[in-house]
Amino acid sequence: MSITVPAPDPALAAGLDCPLRVLDLDGTRLHDPLLDAHLGDIDESALADLYLDMVRVRRLDTEAFALTRQGHLVLWPPLLGQEAAQVGAARSLEQRDWVFGSYREHGFALLRGADMAEFARIWKAYAHGGWDPHEINMAPSQIIIGAQSLHGVGYAMAAKMDGSDEVALTAFGDGATSEGDVNEALVWASAFQAPVVFLCQNNQYAISEPVAVQSGGLPLALRPTGFGIPSMRVDGNDVLAMLAAGRIAVERARSGGGPTFIEAVTYRRGPHTTTDDPKRYRDEAEVEAWVAKDPIDRVERALERMGVDMDPVRAEAKVRADRLAKEFRAAAEHAEPPAAEEIFDNVYAQPSRRLERQRAEHLAFVASLAEESK
């Protein structure tokens, strides 16, 4: 059986044949008229900053992974291999914009300025949300696959109604594109021309399911075109391509152009979470092939080609990454569990009489145990 694909309008779907890329694997700067127009300000020091971001994100990820194995955190969904996709997209946003991500958006959390001590508490199962969403304009991690896309579209619709120029970015994975929530979000975003960016990090696996199982082998970037949403398919391991694609999408949204969908073609090199064993469903050779496309190595080579002395850059990156890792480790090791009565704290924004009564009952009960055992 063959499926006939309607030839997509080039303006609506860029990169369908081959993901858009401006940094080759060996660090060569490739030219792409669409993306280059949004990278004019990126000089050596701007690229070095992106490099530092990615090194810190990776170090946070690997430290958290180790902390889980050492019993200091209970679960961790690693992002190893997806640093460029997150860093490039995160750096295309203004601080006033909002991010609605999944549970794997550690790069966004770090770059948006989430409190790492609070962040550690989430993965120690001591906190439901962790950071204050209004402080960093990033909603708490969403565990329900794809649900955050609806939240992002809703926020964007509200921003439009309020006449603000804020943009919402919602990040999800390849598996989420098969969920009803994401499809509904695409319908609403299209119908209301909401200022939202859909960032799909296609890391090739929905837990153990290869993406082809759900996509019929077609690019995921094709899906939004069916909703009338323009789409770009980008090399997710190319931080510059991701930054440019993000800027294009954000600019469209901010200037009233409506939603844009970005498929970042990348790869999850680690397990789905620390309780998953990917050796059961994929070959080591496949992972090795993606190691060769490492997003950080590529930028190192690009900087070297630009004539940058990498030794001090690497040294600086190491100092910052080590500091971050150490702070995160200390926070994870010393985090204390919350008191049980905190369960009543964040049910409603305003205190309710019923909840106050329940809290009082709970505290009285706890006190009664102490009485009884005297």
Partner 1 sequence: MKTFLLPDLGEGLTDSEIVAWRVKEGDAVELNQPLADIETAKAVVELPSPYEGTIAKLHAAEGETVDVGAPLIDFDVADDDAPAPSGSDESATDASAHDDPAPSPEGGPVATPADTVAEVRDAPAPEEKPEKVSVLVGHITVHGGKPTRKRRAWDVEPFTRQERPSGRPNRAMPPVRKLAKERGIDLQSVRPSGRDGLVTRADLETAGTASGPQAQPQPASTREKVTGLRKHTAAAMTQSALTVPHAATFHQVDVTETLALARSGDASFLALASRAILLAAKRWPDVTAAFHADTMELERFAHINLGIAVSTDRGLVVASIDEAESMDALELTAAIKDRATRAREGSLTMAELTSSNITISNVGVFGVDGGIPILNPGESAIIALGAVRRMPWEHEGEIVLRDVCTVTVSFDHRVLDGREAAGFLADIAAVLERPALALAR
Shortest Å, Cβ 308 to partner 1: 22
Residue 51 bears catalytic tag: no
56 or 293: CB nearest partner 1: 56
CA distances from 274 to 77, 141, 293, 350 (A): 6, 17, 23, 37
Q: Which residue's entry shows tokens 């200037």? A: 255
User: Tell me, what amino acid is at 355?
Assistant: L
Out of 58, 112, 223, 268, which one is annotated catalytic?
A: 268
51 or 188: CB nearest partner 1: 51
Shortest Å, Cβ 283 to partner 1: 16
User: Tell me, what amino acid is at 163?
Assistant: G
65 or 188: CB nearest partner 1: 65
35-44: long-range pairs with CB below 8 Å, 24+: 35/240, 35/241, 35/244, 35/245, 35/248, 36/244, 37/244, 38/243, 38/244, 38/247, 38/248, 38/251, 39/240, 39/243, 39/244, 42/240, 42/243, 44/303, 44/306, 44/307, 44/308
130 or 258: CB nearest partner 1: 130
65 or 267: CB nearest partner 1: 65
| Residue closest to 208 by CA, chosen among 278, 285, 275 | 278
CB 100 within 8 A of CB 171: yes
Residue 128 bears catalytic tag: no
276 or 297: CB nearest partner 1: 276
CA distances from 63 to 212, 319, 327 (A): 32, 14, 10
Which residues form the interface with partner 1 (CB under 8 A)? 56, 62-63, 65-66, 69-72, 74-75, 110, 113, 115-118, 271, 274-277, 279-280, 318-320, 322-324, 326-331, 333-337, 366, 369-370, 372-374
Question: Residue 14 belongs to what H/E stretch?
Answer: strand 13-14
Residue 272 bears catalytic tag: yes
Shortest Å, Cβ 267 to partner 1: 19
Shortest Å, Cβ 265 to partner 1: 27
Shortest Å, Cβ 104 to partner 1: 17
Shortest Å, Cβ 117 to partner 1: 5
Out of 281, 305, 334, 354, which one is annotated catalytic?
A: 281
Out of 38, 59, 112, 272, which one is annotated catalytic?
A: 272
277: three-class secondary structure by DSSP: coil
Catalytic positions are: 268, 272, 281
